Amino acid sequence: MMKKKTYSRCSMSRDFLGESRIFSSAKFALSWAAGLIVVLSVVATSLSGCSVQVLGDDQLARNVYVELVDWHISGLWIINSPVCWIRAVNYNNVPVKDVRIRFKTFGYNGEVLSSGTYTLEGTIGPGGVKNYMEQSIGVVDLESDMLSIETDTVQKD
């Protein structure tokens, strides 16, 4: 008596193109996950630091006064950064935050050497005064002898 050989079929069935349904669904899941990653990364970059900066309120900025109380250069002739004591006064009836200043440095003969912006973080109440001490506002030229600041923009709190 001869033994009859039995063969078991793979439980995966094949679709009309010859691919197994498991492989086809894995490809679908992989492409769906890749699409989801792309969408999430676009949303994340548009809502994070890569987004457009919101401009401040010019009307409020007119009533915020900044004063350069004292400053010195730090950096030992390698990376020169003005370290400043800045006083900000809010003459508005509403609190403001994130006061952005523009600064310029001048040489010995009065020529402009460097310029830039710096944000003083924090909230200043209506009619309030806030001192910002030891603020390194940026990198400037080695020959910087004078420094001037002015209010650029502020945000409404």
What is the band of 48 on the pLDDT scale with cuts at 50, 70, 90? very low
Do 82 and 36 belong to one domain?
Answer: no
Burial readout 25-48 (b: 16 or more C-beta within 10 A, e: otherwise): eeeeeeeeeeeeeeeeeeeeeeee
Residue 15 CA to residue 77 CA, distance in Å, equals: 73
Do 32 and 99 belong to one domain?
Answer: no
Flag whether 24 is in a domain: yes
Question: What is the count of structural domains for the chain?
Answer: 2
Flag whether 10 is in a domain: no
- E strand spans, 1-157: 64-74, 81-90, 96-106, 112-124, 129-136, 146-156
Domain of residue 19: give its range.
15-52
Flag whether 3 is in a domain: no
Flag whether 144 is in a domain: yes
pLDDT of residue 78: 78
Summarize the confidence of residues 107-122 as an average pLDDT.
95
Residue 81 CA to residue 73 CA, distance in Å, equals: 6
Do 92 and 147 belong to one domain?
Answer: yes
Do 106 and 123 belong to one domain?
Answer: yes
pLDDT of residue 39: 59
Flag whether 7 is in a domain: no
Residue 146 CA to residue 157 CA, distance in Å, equals: 33
Do 26 and 40 belong to one domain?
Answer: yes
Q: Residue 118, Cβ neighbours under 10 Å: how many? A: 20
Name the amino acid, one letter, at 88: A
Do 109 and 80 belong to one domain?
Answer: yes
Do 100 and 145 belong to one domain?
Answer: yes
Flag whether 6 is in a domain: no
What tens digit of pLDDT does each residue of 72-106 get? Answer: 988 877 788 999 999 999 999 999 999 999 999 99
pTM of the model: 0.63
Angle (nearest 5°) at CA 100 between 94 and 124: 30
